[in-house]
Each structure stands twice: as C-alpha cells, then as structure tokens.
C-alpha cells in the first residue's frame, strides 16, 4: 500500500494580528483580575477553549462585565463600545489587529470628507459592525455583486473592505462604483496576509484534487479558502478538528492538500496532518488498494 502524502500549503499558522490578540489575552489572564473577551478574541474553537481554561470568559455585551478587564478582539469594535468600557470603569485591553485599525482610520477619513462610505463585507461580521461605527450615517454595506449593482448613483463614494474579503471581489466592486459615482476615493483594506493565504490555497489547488481546510466555521477567511478551492473544481472539506475527518474523503488519493485559516494554530494543523496520514494507511473497505483506485 502506498503512503498517503499530505502537502501543506506554503502559508500556514497564525497571522500576526491573531498572534497579538491571543498573547494580549493570555497576558491579561496572568494578572489575577477577571478577564472578559468581548466576543471570541479570534474565530477558532481551539483557541477559545485554551483561553477558557485560563479563566477567560466570553461576553456579548460590555454590561455583562461587572469588573476587571475587557479585551477588545482582533476584529475591533465601534467607538461607542470603547466609550462604554471606559464609562463603566473597566480596564480595556485593545487587541484590534493593526490592519483593522488602519481600515477604521480610513473609514473615519472618508466619512469626515463627506463621502458615502461603501463597505464590502458581511453585514453582521464583527469587523464590519466595527467599521460601520466609524462610517457615519451615510454608508452602505454590500457583499454580493447583486447588492452592489443595486446601488444608486452617488456624488462622492468612498470604498473600503472587510479585511478578509477576496481581492477579486474588491476589484470588481471598485470598478462598478467608478461607473456610478461622480467622485470616488478608494482605500484597499483587504488584508495582505489573507491575500497570501488565498494565493497559497490556489497554488495548492493546482497540485491536488482534495484539500482539507482547517479553522473555525465562523471564520470568514477560513470559509473563503474552502470556497476558493471549490471554485477551482477541487474537493474541499472544511473542518475544525482532526476528529471530523472521514477516510472516504481520501479514497483513491495518494496526495492531499492541507491549509489552515489565519487563526488556526500549527499544532492543530499538524494533528490533522497526522490523522490524514493514518487514515491513508488503513486498507480500504472491501479489500485491495486496486479496488480503491478503480473507484476513485
């Protein structure tokens, strides 16, 4: 029986924003005060469990924290939420990703200069919720081509994006807004680390037929990696842990691709790699490797 080969994408592990957010939360937990994450600090169940084991609680609203520290997650929050933390006398640890802070500054600038702010993103995603707080009253969120094609003509339009949006979608939106706005200003706020991860997923899709994508199901950048693989005609399986793997996914395959989202730790990814290799070493149901190859 041939050995199953797992091909890791060339970009994997935490991005710097996630690394910073986790480290700040862990450091806060060592101080003895009650520590509250305002929402999941990052969209990854393994990290969430690790922080919970250190006594960190997740809250949905600032009012749930009676005392101690509130950690603003990597996705950022609207200005009103920051003010509420201060007004309640709570200590704030800001773990907002530096690239999200940059997008917030650009959004504020557009609003101050009188532009209608067009945000490419998922309306209920925490990063987009935060950006809307900086965009003033005159803004709109669009996620699909159908939605941006329905935009009215505008005198002044400013365009920004949720950091995990695919670059091709941002380019397409900008091209469309150019046809309906008299004046346009664009800030490309798509995360370059996310872009590199998506390019790595595309490269991986050129080399294998089946790709396993590891990361939280509520992680936008991880879902986009799986979508990208499927757009390339590949079998893509989005999982959160090695326990979710199924041997039949790899029937007839000798090489499988593996990539993680930007909030997926390397130890989780390597655990999945070992499990895939173990499943590949098992004899197929019903007999020989020749039968498995014939049915692939």
Catalytic residues: 127
DSSP string spanning 21-61? HHHHHHHHHTTSS-EEEES-SSS-HHHHHHHHHTT-EEESS
Q: Give, as one character, the DSSP assignment of residue 162.
A: -
Give CA–CA dist 275/282, Å, rounded: 11
Chain centroid, CA 125 distance in Å: 10
CB 116 within 8 A of CB 154: yes
Nearest residue to 131 via CA among 61, 196, 178, 76: 76
CB 72 within 8 A of CB 105: no
Strands (DSSP E) contained in 111-172 are 116-120, 139-142, 154-161
């Amino acid at each position: 029986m041939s050995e199953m080969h797992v091909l890791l994408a060339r970009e994997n592990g935490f991005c710097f924003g996630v690394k910073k957010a986790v480290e700040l939360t862990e450091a806060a937990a060592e101080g003895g005060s009650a520590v509250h994450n305002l929402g999941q600090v990052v969209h990854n169940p393994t990290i969430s469990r690790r922080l919970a084991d250190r006594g960190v609680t997740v809250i949905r609203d600032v009012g749930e924290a009676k005392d101690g520290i509130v950690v603003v997650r990597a996705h950022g929050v609207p200005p009103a939420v920051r003010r509420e933390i201060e007004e309640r006398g709570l200590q704030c640890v800001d773990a907002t990703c530096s690239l999200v802070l940059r997008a917030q500054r650009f959004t504020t600038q557009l609003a101050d200069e009188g532009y209608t702010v067009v945000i490419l993103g998922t309306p209920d995603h925490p990063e987009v919720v935060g950006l809307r707080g900086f965009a003033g009253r005159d803004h709109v969120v669009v996620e699909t081509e159908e939605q941006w094609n329905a935009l009215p003509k505008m005198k002044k339009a400013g365009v920004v994006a949720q950091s995990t949006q695919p670059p091709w979608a941002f380019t397409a939106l900008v091209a469309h807004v150019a046809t309906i706005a008299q004046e346009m200003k664009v800030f490309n706020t798509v995360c370059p680390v996310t872009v590199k991860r998506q390019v790595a997923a595309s490269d991986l899709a050129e080399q294998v037929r089946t790709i396993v994508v590891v990361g939280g199901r509520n992680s936008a950048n991880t879902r986009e990696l799986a979508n990208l693989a499927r757009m390339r005609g590949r079998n893509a399986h989005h999982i959160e842990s090695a326990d979710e793997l199924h041997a039949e996914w790899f029937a007839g395959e000798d090489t499988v691709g593996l990539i993680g989202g930007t909030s997926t730790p390397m130890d989780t990814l390597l655990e999945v790699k070992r499990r895939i290799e173990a499943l590949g070493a098992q004899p197929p149901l019903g007999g020989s490797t020749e039968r498995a190859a014939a049915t692939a």
